[in-house]
Amino acid sequence: MESSPTAPLRQHEEEAIRHLLALENGGGEAERQAAERWIAASPEHAVAFARARQAWRAAALLDAEPEVGSADLAMQAPRGSRRGVLLGSAGLLGLALAGAAGGWFFLHRQLLTTRVGEIREVALPDGSHVVLNSDTVVEVAYTRERRRLRLKRGEAFFEVAHNPARPFDVEVGDTMLRALGTAFNVRDRGAVVELTVSHGVVGVREGQSALHKVPAGNFAIIHPDAVAVASYDAAGLSQKTAWREHVIELNGDSLAQAVEEFNRYRKRPIVIGDQRVAALRVGGRFQTDESAQFIEGLEQSMPVRAIRDADGGILLLYTDEVSQS
């Protein structure tokens, strides 16, 4: 009998499956390191693991989509048996080979999200931490060579575990931020990206532009064609990251800016109905869920009248009268 070119792969399938199951069933750092060592030991190990991972994901799709027919997986095992699908995944060999050769297989993938009004801290497998602001989506994709995250919406604060051999990159649209052992805040405003660096240095690249270095104590506004950097004092930096403590700090901000901040934590917005209201300057320190108290304070101290609808929305109008209550 002629030997099969896939025989070396089949010899390693069981071991690849054992490592994959250990990781998928809540394995810790020891299991992750063991899998990394085994994958790095030979190209055959890498291909076998990539092949097993692809089959595992295909099995997950079968679980989620009951109507998928058996023709969608070569040599499919009975539904519900992921281990069977792993062992019967020869039809995925081409994908596995291509994926392993390209080094795309991931040691850790995760989608982090928050609801409107929710703030959440997550520990990442390398010892880094990310805090997500309200209505935020962060995609995590770790390989052996790179720690890659994508801020798809919202705002997040990153505390990065130092590892020069494994860069930590945050992508926001066409903007790439690279950090080694640092802490920084990133906010996606659509037209621009805001970066606040608390510790260390963050490299910024917008599209194909040159790399800009933003050190601690600095704030950057990143446009599609430029990076504008300004230094901040401790109070200014605190204001930019106060949201991590569920706090909105206002220090002479326009009422339009204040309303924008409060609306990030509300399901129904506050709407400014008069530009005279938008230009008023306000100050104070509020919890992110204290927009009602903020509006009451405006009505008592400024020429502002609030009209509240039954759904929780608020319209702010200008008035010549200030409440004395």
pLDDT tens, residue by residue, 109-155: 899 999 999 999 999 999 999 999 999 999 999 988 899 999 999 99
Say what the pLDDT of residue 104 is: 45
pLDDT tens, residue by residue, 80-118: 444 444 444 433 443 443 344 444 456 788 999 999 999
pLDDT tens, residue by residue, 310-320: 999 999 999 97
The predicted model gives 250-279 an average pLDDT of 95
**Burial class for 324, CB neighbours closer than 10 Å (0-12, 13-18, 19+):** exposed
For residues 200 and 217, give the distance between their C-alpha atoms in angstroms, rounded to a whole number.
9
For residues 83 and 89, give the distance between their C-alpha atoms in angstroms, rounded to a whole number.
10
Using pLDDT thresholds of 50, 70 and 90, give the confidence band for residue 303. Answer: very high
Using pLDDT thresholds of 50, 70 and 90, give the confidence band for residue 72. Answer: very low
CA 14 to chain centre: 34
User: Pairing relation of β-strands 201-206 and 212-215?
Assistant: antiparallel
Determine contact, residues 173/198, Cβ cutoff 8 Å. Answer: no
Say what the pLDDT of residue 196 is: 95
pLDDT tens, residue by residue, 161-217: 999 889 999 999 989 999 977 999 999 998 899 999 999 999 998 776 778 899 999
Q: Please report, to the nearest 10 degrees, the dihedral formed by the alpha carbons of residues 9, 10, 13, 14 taken in order.
A: -140
Determine contact, residues 95/101, Cβ cutoff 8 Å. Answer: no
Say what the pLDDT of residue 106 is: 65
Residue 86 phi, psi dihedral angles, 5° rounding:
-60, -45
Say what the pLDDT of residue 8 is: 52
Q: Residue ranges per domain, the chain?
A: 7-102, 108-237, 246-318
CATH number of 246-318: 3.55.50.30
Structure tokens given for 294 = 């903020």
Say what the pLDDT of residue 89 is: 43
Q: Please enumerate, as own/partner, the contacts of 223-232 that have beta carbons within 8 Å and a separation of 24 or more.
A: 223/191, 223/192, 224/174, 232/196
Say what the pLDDT of residue 42 is: 74
For residues 76 and 59, give the distance between their C-alpha atoms in angstroms, rounded to a whole number.
9
Determine contact, residues 122/162, Cβ cutoff 8 Å. Answer: no
Say what the pLDDT of residue 294 is: 97
SS3 59: helix
**CATH for 108-237 (2.60.120.1440, 3.40.190.290, 1.20.58.110, 3.90.320.10):** 2.60.120.1440
User: Pairing relation of β-strands 247-254 and 281-287?
Assistant: antiparallel
Say what the pLDDT of residue 10 is: 59
Using pLDDT thresholds of 50, 70 and 90, give the confidence band for residue 300. Answer: very high
pLDDT over 80 at 14, yes or no? no
- Mean residue pLDDT across the chain: 80
pLDDT tens, residue by residue, 216-241: 999 999 988 788 998 888 788 889 99
Say what the pLDDT of residue 6 is: 46
Question: Per-residue DSSP letters for 178-221?
Answer: EESS-EEEEEE-SS-EEEEEEESEEEEEETTSPPEEEETTEEEE
Longest dimension (CA), the chain: 97
pLDDT over 50 at 24, yes or no? yes
pTM, whole model, 2 decimals? 0.67
